[in-house]
Structure 1
């Protein structure tokens, strides 16, 4: 069987060249080797063995969907340029009649014509370009994929790259539960209030739907956005996702409270439209909920932080580890936003919904105002778990308003 090879070069370097020697050592009958790379990089002079394919619209999924149907070979091996490829990789593993793809988180062998019916996702669904292959695999029907569980005979994360961000992204990729059967639900509703976060909104929604356990409902309120958000939301057609729109911006508290009456689950997870969840978030949360005392109105844990250098290019900043909050004074001194925030629906309704502070017309620190009042109902509960990813970027409301925190604290008890 003749096979084309596509190397995905996610970085602005020539790391893809390290993939050429392992390819030559395999038993694959290779028709041609292509490298998809950022359009502002020029690889044409680096190797006569590789055909240069500049990215279309900075989108690896769209580029693959355009390229694969034009291949001469019937199958294509798609490899992350920074992965370690086994020389024992073999194509005989594509055995089941309905199977269109064989692979794992770092390399996939795909039947080229299948891309017409099962295209790769576009960049707007992926927190990192590197998550393309595992995202694609985990969302395929189980009968369409053959997973390589023994990764040593296929591909693994490279041990050559010592970058903290690379290692962190590689570890994060492996949170995708590729072997999931039909998804089960957990009695949690995700609430997303969006205002002009169209560049990130699809990622936030999609992150709730990629695990073996998913929330019972996702409610998204668009709060009068003037960017691409309304267009993106109208393109969502999923039974778990319910969208609503307001004509003008009223603030996050209004948007969340508009959603609250429709919630029918005992628990609520609040997700900012520019953040996202781990692929296995609700599997982890299902176990964590068992440790949450019934007297507590709020469950929280740790936050994984990423700095956006440019659109969809992130640098890992570490885990902001939570700690127990035992009093209102310790809540005031909490060094970062408390999260992820999982609420008991009954407790929120007891407050009358999310609290709107008079400070800055209620458009800042609504989470702290609400948590501060919840702490009067019962103890806040911390568990050491990490499922929530925070994106620090220039347009973040929190990033823009650090200087107003002290003024907010002064009026908190009034």
Structure 2
């Protein structure tokens, strides 16, 4: 049987997290996967963990000559993806053992206009010493249209893409002020929902690890890119509305409404 899904892992100085992410792929109940690892010019020893895997014909390893950022790295992986579906796995996150089996089975039932399948996310938090702090399950939901998604302030977890649709929109955008280094999920999802439907299943499918090195700890940068991304989307969608934002006590910006110009 031909592989139906590629797991795409972008990694940069991921330390011991990378090995655990890889273990979660190799522990899948659905074994007919491919794996693409894009090393964004790591300088730590995490990549040494990959050497035993490189003889596995399911694994492709790409190393950037210089640090390009997450979106550009994933686009390099997407360019060599040959399976009908691709799922992003961040190097510090994990898949449940059944994740690929559930998603592939669900994908086989979906029409061509479904470009993304997601489920629910289990967030596990660690303190500065690496000690377990808390575990929260967050439910996703379905969306009526692109404006419903925009106003939800949500991402999607996991992001299981139809490869042809993702390639048709040019992969992960890099035309923002940070060249795709931050918030690559919301950037690509805003473009994907313009041309495709999102399908949600009410099952925990992704484990996100919160720790001191998460990019999302860069609140000022994420506030800037969030506002930029929303304004960019509204302009692209016809430039009929202005966004209304609020900033919470932790400094996070959210859209609460759109008003007609």
Match of 1:277 among 95, 98, 105: 95
Match of 2:29 among 212, 216, 221: 212
Deviation at 1:312, TM superposition (A): 5.4
Alignment correspondent of 2:233: 412
Count of matched residue pairs: 231
Deviation at 1:192, TM superposition (A): 0.8
Distance 1:329 1:392 in 2: 29
Distance 2:33 2:121 in 1: 23
Alignment correspondent of 1:403: 223
383 and 292 in structure 1: CA distance in 2 versus 1, 3 angstrom threshold: farther
Distance 1:335 1:291 in 2: 28
- The 8 Å contact of residues 394 and 400 in structure 1, kept in 2 or not, is answered as no
Q: How does 1:6-405 map to 2 (within 5 A)?
A: 187-237=4-54, 238-310=56-128, 313-401=131-219, 402-404=222-224, 405=226
Deviation at 1:231, TM superposition (A): 2.3
- The 8 Å contact of residues 357 and 369 in structure 1, kept in 2 or not, is answered as no
Distance 2:143 2:110 in 1: 15
Distance 2:103 2:211 in 1: 27
* Runs of 5+ unmatched residues, structure 1: 1-183
- The 8 Å contact of residues 296 and 380 in structure 1, kept in 2 or not, is answered as yes
Distance 1:375 1:337 in 2: 12
Distance 1:222 1:376 in 2: 30
Q: TM-score, normalised by structure 1?
A: 0.52
Deviation at 1:186, TM superposition (A): 5.1
Partner deviation per Cα, 1:123-159 (whole Å, 9 max, x = no partner): xxxxxxxxxxxxxxxxxxxxxxxxxxxxxxxxxxxxx
Deviation at 1:336, TM superposition (A): 3.9
Deviation at 1:298, TM superposition (A): 1.0
- The 8 Å contact of residues 86 and 163 in structure 2, kept in 1 or not, is answered as yes
RMSD of aligned C-alpha atoms?
Answer: 2.1
248 and 266 in structure 1: CA distance in 2 versus 1, 3 angstrom threshold: same
SS in 1 for 2:127: strand
390 and 185 in structure 1: CA distance in 2 versus 1, 3 angstrom threshold: farther
Distance 1:326 1:394 in 2: 35
- The 8 Å contact of residues 185 and 213 in structure 1, kept in 2 or not, is answered as no
SS in 2 for 1:360: coil
SS in 2 for 1:326: coil
